[in-house]
Each structure stands twice: as structure tokens, then as C-alpha cells.
């Protein structure tokens, strides 16, 4: 842990946190969002659910997403935008907007996260996905808040990656050590009977006991309708094709368009939603092809996609966590076309979802990506069972369980500063 944990000077550090009379609960959320929209949208759903259940609570989301300002948050929720980073095609990262080296950008992000923790004085700190944050940037804040008595929670999605890749990745990052050393609770936003994302890590029994499987995070339509003007195609039953942020959805969009190009007998129209991060050249090429197909239409982005999903007759998506939750929540017949590179997270989720009968799956993982295969899958959607026809206990209880665990954490009088100092000795 020497490379992860900063030296803690007891004289210079914070004193153990004490309840503040008349002050509502404060929750700080770190959203791991170096790519796409998934982490931000999950963090927003959790934050909104917290303040809906406890109106006196204040929640601050720390995010580097360049589009966080496009989303609405409930009263009691706000955000701090830190400099963004972006993932390159080769898997490396760079600063998104600043003309600085990545290490300098990470140092700036790290300092801002720590300062937010010191100024906001949260009762609970929820870290999304990465126990140490992007390149360890959350560690100084974890040190500070643990010593201050703040409750530390790691929240992870139902599937991280295949064990063969997850274990060495977490060892390289020191993530398993951080998980053991820092976190009071681990919330898995899924069901144990569906998938156990940390099973391969061989965690000590006392850490296993900290894990709560919450169930998936139910989604609702926003309280106010979208101001986006929907195409005429949405006035009839239609298939919504969405790739989330759009930065890695080119293959899915191309495959759907090719199906309509190859099969004039496809009856149900489809609306393709690009997402804000789609490559401009790809977008231009897709638009040219879509305009030639009378049963296809396109939209760029909708920050209230929930309304569009509710309106749709069926959904075709890549299988990211948020889209999976929305398909279940709105009870939509769904075809998952999972990304298989650079990780198998979406593929594993799709396999398990199809096993339970919640969704159908079409993959190019071991079979060729032909227009005929996609056309057949699209045609089969209309006769596919809806998710509600399958009984899975606790399937969409995620937000309820989060609210319960947060209440338990903040009403307990136990504090952890003493434990921290004993562990640091």
C-alpha cells in the first residue's frame, strides 16, 4: 500500500467527524467518467434517489464529463466539474481540453477532489467503479475522509470484466488492497444470482461481508418532458437504436443500417440515436445512408432519453449498464448487441440477461456480422416476451436498497477514525 496510501500526519490532519446539529446529511459522489455517459448517468440516478427519499440531504457529484451540464438534477443535488480526460483508440488516455500532459491533468483533478472533500465535509463518500479512482486520483481524499470518520462506499456495476482480465488489472492498480483498506461497504448494483463481479478476487471473508447486492437501479421518466422535437417516425410503433454516449457504437449503427439496406421487407421503422461522442466523419456517413432509407430516421442526442425509451415499441442497444436498467424499468423488448472489445462486460451481461429471458442477444463475438442476421433479429423482436413476463425477485430494487444502506450508515453512531489509525500503524 506504500504506493497508494499517502503518509498521514495526525497533527495536520482532520479530527474525527462529529454530527453537526441542524445540518442535513451530506453525500459526495465520485463519478468515474473517462469515457461515455454510463458512470455519470448512474451517479445521477443514485443522487436523485437519495434526495427524493431524504429531502434534507445534499449531494455533490464530482465529474469530468464534458456534458454533465446538459442533465437535470433534483433539488439538493449539484456537481463539480473537474478537467476531463479521454480514452484514445489505442487504449491510452490524454487530457480532454487542457493543453497539459496527462500527469499534470490528473494532479489537478486529484487536488480538486481533495479540496472538495475538505470543503464539503461529507458524511458518506460514494466512489464509482474504481477503488482508487482514475490513476489513483481519489486516494488522498480517501485518506482524509477515512481519518475524519466519513463512511466510504464503493459502488460497482453488476459486471466489471471477465476474471482473466479483471484480476491482473486490479492487482496492477492496487485496487484490491484499496478495497480492503478503505471501504466500509461495497454496493454491487445487480443481483448475486445473476453475476458476482468480484468473486475472482478472492477477497478476505471480512471484506466479503461488506458486500451488498442491491439489485438493478430502476429508472423513471424525468419529471419534465424532453424539449427535443421527435421525428415523425415516433408517431407509430418504432424500434429505438441507442449506443449510449456514441463513442464506441459505430459497429451497431452500421449493422442496423445494413439490415434495412439489405432487406426491404423489414416493416417496423427504427430511430437511431447517435449520442454526443460519435465521430463526426462517421456521423456524416451514417446520415447519408439513413436518408436513403424510408424506414430509418436519426437524432443526435436526447438528455432525457427515458421519455424516448418509454415511447419506443422495442430497443436495440449495446448492453451498457444504464441501458439494461432502462430496458427492464420500461418493460421493453430488447435486443442487446454487446461490445466485445476492449472488454467483455457487455457480452457477459447480455449472456446472463438472455439466460434469464429478460433480453435477446445478437453478437459478432464468434459469428460473422451479416445484414441478414441483424434483419432476422429485428424481425423477431415483435414476438419476444417482455421483461415483466419473467419473475426475478429483487430485480429492480437497487435504489431502494441504496436508500436503506445510506440510512443505516448515517444513523449509526460508530466512527472509524480509531480503526484507521490502528490499520496505519
pLDDT, tens digit (0-9, with 9 covering 90-100), for 178-196: 999 999 999 999 999 999 9
Task: Record the cell numbers describing residue 42, joined without a space.
Answer: 448512474
273 and 255 in a common domain: yes
384 and 405 in a common domain: no
**213 — alpha (psi -120 to 50), left (phi > 0) or beta?**
beta
Task: Record the cell numbers describing residue 417, joined without a space.
Answer: 477514525
Q: Going by DSSP bridges, is the β-strand pair 151-157/124-128 parallel, antiparallel, or unpaired?
A: parallel
Task: Record the cell numbers describing residue 389, joined without a space.
Answer: 413476463
184 and 58 in a common domain: yes
56 and 146 in a common domain: yes
122 and 88 in a common domain: yes
Domain range for 169: 26-218+397-413
Residue 360 maps to a domain: yes
289 and 248 in a common domain: yes
Residue 5 maps to a domain: no
Residue 252 maps to a domain: yes
247 and 199 in a common domain: no
209 and 283 in a common domain: no
Residue 269 maps to a domain: yes
Contact 309, 326 (CB under 8 A): yes
Residue 7 maps to a domain: no
Q: What is the pLDDT of residue 91?
A: 67
Closest CA to 345 of 130, 88, 166: 166
pLDDT, tens digit (0-9, with 9 covering 90-100), for 99-157: 999 999 999 999 999 999 999 999 999 999 999 999 999 999 999 999 999 999 999 99
306 and 181 in a common domain: no
Q: How far apart are CA 91 and CA 132, in angstroms?
A: 19
The CATH number covering residue 346 comes to 3.40.50.2000
325 and 209 in a common domain: no
The helix or strand, by DSSP H or E, that contains position 410, with its residue range, turns out to be helix 398-411
DSSP E strand boundaries for 26-128: 26-30, 58-63, 77-81, 85-87, 93-95, 124-128
Residue 51 maps to a domain: yes
Residue 374 maps to a domain: yes
Number of domains in the chain: 2
Q: How far apart are CA 77 and CA 230, in angstroms?
A: 29
Q: With a cut of 70, which residues of the chain have pLDDT below it?
A: 1-22, 34-36, 89-91, 246, 412-425
154 and 81 in a common domain: yes
Residue 8 maps to a domain: no
User: Which ranges of 296-388 would DSSP assign to H, the alpha helix?
Assistant: 305-311, 321-329, 345-355, 371-380
CA torsion sign for 377, 269, 312, 223 is: positive
302 and 209 in a common domain: no
Amino acid at each position: 500500500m506504500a504506493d497508494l496510501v499517502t503518509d498521514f500526519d495526525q497533527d495536520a490532519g482532520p479530527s474525527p467527524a462529529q454530527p453537526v446539529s441542524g445540518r442535513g446529511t451530506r453525500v459526495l459522489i465520485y463519478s468515474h467518467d473517462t469515457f461515455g455517459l454510463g458512470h455519470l448517468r448512474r451517479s445521477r440516478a443514485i443522487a436523485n434517489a437519495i434526495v427524493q427519499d431524504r429531502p434534507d440531504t445534499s449531494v455533490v457529484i464530482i465529474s469530468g464529463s464534458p456534458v454533465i451540464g446538459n442533465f437535470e438534477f433534483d433539488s439538493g443535488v449539484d456537481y463539480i466539474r473537474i478537467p476531463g480526460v479521454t480514452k484514445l483508440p489505442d487504449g491510452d488516455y490524454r487530457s480532454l481540453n487542457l493543453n497539459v500532459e496527462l500527469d499534470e491533468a490528473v494532479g489537478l483533478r486529484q487536488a480538486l477532489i481533495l479540496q472538495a472533500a475538505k470543503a464539503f465535509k461529507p458524511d458518506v463518500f460514494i466512489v464509482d467503479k474504481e477503488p482508487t479512482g482514475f490513476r489513483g486520483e481519489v486516494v488522498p481524499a480517501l485518506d482524509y475522509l477515512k481519518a475524519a470518520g466519513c463512511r466510504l462506499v464503493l459502488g460497482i456495476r453488476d459486471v466489471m470484466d471477465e476474471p482473466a482480465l479483471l484480476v491482473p488489472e486490479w492487482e496492477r492498480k492496487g485496487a484490491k488492497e484499496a478495497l480492503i483498506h478503505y471501504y466500509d461497504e461495497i454496493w454491487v448494483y445487480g443481483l448475486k444470482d445473476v453475476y458476482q463481479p468480484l468473486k475472482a478476487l478472492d477477497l478476505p471473508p471480512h471484506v466479503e461481508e461488506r458486500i451488498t447486492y442491491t439489485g438493478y437501479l430502476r429508472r423513471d421518466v424525468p419529471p419534465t418532458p424532453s424539449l427535443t422535437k421527435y421525428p415523425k417516425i415516433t408517431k407509430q410503433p418504432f424500434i429505438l437504436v441507442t449506443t449510449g454516449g456514441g463513442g464506441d457504437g459505430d459497429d451497431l449503427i452500421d449493422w442496423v443500417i445494413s439490415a434495412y439496406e439489405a432487406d426491404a421487407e423489414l416493416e417496423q421503422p427504427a430511430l437511431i440515436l447517435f449520442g454526443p461522442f460519435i465521430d463526426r466523419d462517421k456521423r456524416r456517413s451514417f446520415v447519408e445512408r439513413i436518408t436513403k432509407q424510408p424506414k430509418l430516421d436519426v437524432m443526435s442526442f436526447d438528455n432525457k432519453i427515458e421519455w424516448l425509451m418509454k415511447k419506443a415499441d422495442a430497443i436495440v442497444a449495446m448492453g451498457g449498464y444504464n441501458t439494461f436498467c432502462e430496458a427492464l424499468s420500461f418493460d421493453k423488448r430488447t435486443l442487446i448487441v454487446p461490445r466485445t472489445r476492449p472488454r467483455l462486460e457487455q457480452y457477459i451481461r447480455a449472456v446472463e440477461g438472455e439466460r434469464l429471458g429478460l433480453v435477446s442477444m445478437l453478437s459478432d463475438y464468434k459469428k460473422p456480422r451479416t445484414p441478414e442476421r441483424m434483419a432476422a433479429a429485428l424481425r423477431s423482436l415483435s414476438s419476444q416476451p417482455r421483461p415483466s413476463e419473467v419473475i426475478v425477485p429483487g430485480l429492480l430494487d437497487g435504489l431502494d436498497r441504496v436508500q436503506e444502506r445510506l440510512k443505516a450508515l448515517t444513523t449509526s453512531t460508530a466512527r472509524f477514525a480509531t480503526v484507521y489509525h490502528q490499520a496505519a500503524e
